[in-house]
Structure 1
Amino acid sequence: MTTPDGVIALFGTSADPPTLGHQALLQGLLDHFPTVATWASDNPLKQHGAPLAERAALLGALVNGLADPRLEQHQELSSPWAITTLDRAGQTWPGRELVFVVGSDLAPQIPRWKQGQAVLGRCRLAIVPRDGWPIDRAALESLESLGARLEVLPLAIPPTASSALRRQPDPRQIPASVWPVLLHHNLYGLADPS
């Protein structure tokens, strides 16, 4: 049995761009886990608005802005495939219990992921409710039937979505720490809010 300090939460995100929702989620994860590792990823099911390196820089600015030593960006975990990320995390933190964090919008997709059942066998799964994506009981039962050890995290995340922000830019949804990098790379058609 792993001790609580042996647990590490893993949260990959497109960070396309990072929003106040990402910020709230990372802060919420720090309330539940002793260590949180995050990275920007390329989701094979999404079209991205900026290259991975720029999204990683945006996420890094958010992580630095939160300034919590328990939160670290580990860009080397990034892969389009969760199974590869878990392999890398297992090598980085041998003996630690891995908790893979996903939004409720992704939970029904996991059985169709590359080696989805193997993913579920290598980690505990934490699902964060997302506004507009209610927790699907049938999806949870399907995951449990595949061997998932899962929990639904009681986090309240603001209803922000990177995809909506790319369609209709809203500077109020961008964390202050992200602005310098966003403006430096001239991303998403957003202008300096000041």
Structure 2
Amino acid sequence: MAIAPGDRLGILGGTFNPPHLAHLLAAQEAYDQLELDRVLLMPVATPPHKEAADDPGPEVRLELCRLAVAGDDRLAVSDLEVARGGASYTADTLRALHALHPGVDLTFIVGGDMASSLPTWREPAEVAALARLAVAERQGARRADILERLATVPGAAERAEFFDLPRIDLSSSLIRRRVAAGHPIRYLVPDPVTAYIAQHGLYRSPVGSPSPSA
């Protein structure tokens, strides 16, 4: 993945358990509307919520992301957080990306709810200093309210950029429930992801149920 100084690099973080078309749509719209040079999908090593029964592991989620973006030169996948392991903090990730790619212009892609919660993040002012904040606008999330919250973090409101994102009622948990219930997931995730999930028997246990003993 060639990244040059001065490139505008978007980062879309998440568990991606599994990645689906709404993730890719967010990456595409940020790329297009904010004139980014590339968008990185950044799977976390440890899911922020308790999903142990459903999580196939960080390496599998990383591979699912690679399959999801294969053939699209606008998108790529970073294993930075998976390789580092443990809990991930945005400020640490952004510092690591700056060290790996000096001179790059980072844009961190978030939804409106997550943007509003920035004041509660670890080192929020450092996050704002290290990256622009690309905020996906959806119905029900008012720009003025988001900017009011961001204004409590030095520099954050000035570094925020908004982009339109069509509302798609799709989540990774829905995908997992459909797989567990034996329902098709084609047209909800990229075809290579559908094939990998079927081939490796992922998400067959009902969501929240204990894994069968060996």
TM class, shorter-chain normalised? 0.7 to 0.9
Determine if contact 2:15/2:47 at 8 Å carries over to the other structure.
Answer: no
* Runs of 5+ consecutive residues of structure 1 not aligned to the other structure: none
Instruction: Report the Cα offset of residue 184 of structure 1.
Output: 3.1
In the alignment, the residues of structure 2 paired with residue 20 and residue 40 of structure 1 have an alpha-carbon distance, to the nearest angstrom, of 15
Q: How many residues in Structure 1 have an aligned counterpart in Structure 2?
A: 184
TM-score (ref. length: structure 1): 0.82
Determine if contact 1:20/1:174 at 8 Å carries over to the other structure.
Answer: yes
Matches within 5 A, 1:1-194: 6-31=7-32, 32-42=35-45, 45-48=48-51, 49-50=54-55, 51-64=57-70, 67-78=71-82, 80-130=88-138, 134-135=141-142, 137-146=144-153, 147-148=155-156, 149-169=159-179, 171-172=185-186, 173-189=188-204
* Runs of 5+ consecutive residues of structure 2 not aligned to the other structure: 206-214
Considering only CA atoms, is the larger Rg found in Structure 1 or Structure 2? 2
Instruction: Report the Cα offset of residue 43 of structure 1.
Output: 6.1
2:212 counterpart residue number? none
Q: Supply the AA of the counterpart residue of 1:171.
A: I
Cα distance change of structure 1 residues 47 and 137 upon mapping to structure 2, 3 Å threshold? farther
Determine if contact 1:128/1:155 at 8 Å carries over to the other structure.
Answer: yes
Does the residue aligned with 2:108 lie in a helix, a strand or coil?
Answer: strand
Cα distance change of structure 1 residues 76 and 183 upon mapping to structure 2, 3 Å threshold? same
Q: Supply the AA of the counterpart residue of 1:11.
A: L
Cα distance change of structure 1 residues 142 and 152 upon mapping to structure 2, 3 Å threshold? same
TM-score (ref. length: structure 2): 0.75
Q: Supply the AA of the counterpart residue of 1:55.
A: R
- What is the percentage of aligned positions where both structures have the same residue? 28
Does the residue aligned with 1:106 lie in a helix, a strand or coil?
Answer: helix
Instruction: Report the Cα offset of residue 108 of structure 1.
Output: 2.3
Instruction: Report the Cα offset of residue 33 of structure 1.
Output: 1.2
In the alignment, the residues of structure 1 paired with residue 138 and residue 178 of structure 2 have an alpha-carbon distance, to the nearest angstrom, of 19
Instruction: Report the Cα offset of residue 71 of structure 1.
Output: 1.8
Q: Supply the AA of the counterpart residue of 2:201.
A: N
